[in-house]
Amino acid sequence: MISLTTCNFTAGRWIRFWLIFFCLQAAFPCLSEGYSQSQYQRFQDRLIDHRSRLNPKFKKKTRQKTQYIIVHTSELGLDATLRVVSKGKQFQSGYKTPGGHANYVIARNGRTYRILDKRYRADHAGRSMWNNRADISDVSLGIELVGYHTAPITKSQYRSLEVLIQILEKVYGLKDQDVLTHSQVAYGKPNPWFKKNHRGRKRCAKNFIRAKAGLDKGWRYDPDVRAGRLMADPTLVGVFYAPDLKVPVPLAAPREFGSNIISATNSAWAIAGGDYDEKTTAYLLPNGRTLPGDRISKTIGWAHLPLNTKVILNQDVEAAVIQIQAQTPVKIISSNMTAWSHAGAAYQEDTTLYFLPSGRVYPGSKISDWDDLPLETRMLVGYKGPFSITLAQTAYKIAGQRYKAPETIYYWPGTLTTGDKIIDFKDLPKGVHIYLPLPLK
């Protein structure tokens, strides 16, 4: 079998390796359709071995059976992803998991990391079920794609994933149909939107396009929903399956794809999935008040959560910090507040502007690798510009009466400030740019 473990091969082992490889090529022509023998070997040689960084408290357990490959999006940047899957997740309560949350991680540039040897069980699927088999972590490998389910998976990631999946399928005798996403296999317990156990607990890898990873269309329906074991999730039905006439699709929890704002067509469940009532999910209400998910039920109730409330995931900071960030036009990217946290679906728009610590400024449409976006990068969401101040083109001529307003932004290298913070406009240095907010719709 093709081995992904790192070991010192003797000459005899190399001969046996290539004999088996050639046999696999003969038995499985698709193995050589897209990639050459040297490409498979090059991919294997370039795997980054991250196993030494695994939390020593993680107890390795060999899987007795391998039935599935589960694809995830990490919902984090590269450094945070590697730290969490290796060392574990830290919760505000003080509880920490022992790591081992994936077998492989694929960065947005395609670089692939081995977190845990493929033969060991990774704790990656949580509460899960597929085809009446529960605890999918027991019978599957977990592959994390660095990034968010709201952003496209990169070509480099798809290419590395395709090679890795082809190798693993041959090792374990799997078919394309056995490759699923975490969002497909995860399920949730009853909540305000669903009266029974249901799909939709996780959102990760909902942006996964099977064809781009060299896979066939896969399942045409959810076997557990069709059998009545779980209620359907309307979003997953629309993303992964053709309409299944045998199963009624509930109207609960509609979704406005890509948005993190609660509306008549976008519920808290649709945005956050099973994390809707977690302490790490923050709700920023239209009146400026911020509440963690675990306090909504006791304070205002899920049925009374106002429209235009913003949902911010993966938070371990105080609500006051989120509230302050929401009230200022200049946003700051941190390990908690990502570009999507601040801007939602607009994070890649021309009108979302990024001011990097290096002094460079980019619109969202010009940023391709979000993992390389440095912490402390500042953002403006819903702005136009820059407009250059000159002797003839004064701040007043550019911004009118708003030139002193707190929403009018002045930028020169090293400084990004609001109009109300400038005392003497005559002392502005050369090369100052103004950014103006777009009119509210």
What are 222's two structure tokens? 């959810």
**CA–CA dist 331, 344 (Å, integer):** 13
**CA–CA dist 149, 332 (Å, integer):** 21
Nearest to 370 by CA among 70, 150, 84, 208: 150
Specify the pLDDT at position 110. Answer: 94
What are 126's two structure tokens? 């949580």
pLDDT digits (tens, 9 = 90+) for 110-121: 999 999 999 999
Query: Region 155-178: what's the mean pLDDT?
Result: 95
Query: Region 132-148: what's the mean pLDDT?
Result: 96
Tell me which amino acid residue 152 is. P
Query: Region 36-49: what's the mean pLDDT?
Result: 85
Specify the pLDDT at position 179. Answer: 98
Structure confidence at residue 91 as a pLDDT band (50, 70, 90): low
- What Å distances lie between residue 196 and 107, 186, 369, CA to CA? 36, 14, 40
Structure confidence at residue 93 as a pLDDT band (50, 70, 90): low
CB 161 within 8 A of CB 106: yes
Query: Region 135-155: what's the mean pLDDT?
Result: 93
Q: Which domains does the chain have, with CATH numbers?
A: 47-240 (3.40.80.10), 254-326 (no CATH)
- Tell me which of 61 and 348 has the higher pLDDT: 61
pLDDT digits (tens, 9 = 90+) for 317-336: 555 566 666 678 898 887 76
pLDDT digits (tens, 9 = 90+) for 242-263: 766 666 666 554 455 567 888 8
Phi, psi angles (nearest 5°) of residue 417: -140, 165
The residue whose two tokens read 């081992």 is 100
- What Å distances lie between residue 268 and 149, 230, 263, 277, 319, CA to CA? 16, 20, 9, 9, 18
Specify the pLDDT at position 168. Answer: 95
**CA–CA dist 345, 340 (Å, integer):** 7
pLDDT digits (tens, 9 = 90+) for 362-420: 999 998 776 667 889 999 999 999 999 998 899 999 999 999 999 999 999 889 999 99
pLDDT digits (tens, 9 = 90+) for 293-317: 888 999 999 989 999 898 887 766 5
- What Å distances lie between residue 425 and 289, 370, 413, CA to CA? 34, 35, 17
pLDDT digits (tens, 9 = 90+) for 405-427: 999 999 998 899 999 999 999 88
pLDDT digits (tens, 9 = 90+) for 182-237: 999 999 999 988 899 999 899 889 999 999 999 998 999 999 999 999 999 888 88
Length in residues, the chain: 441
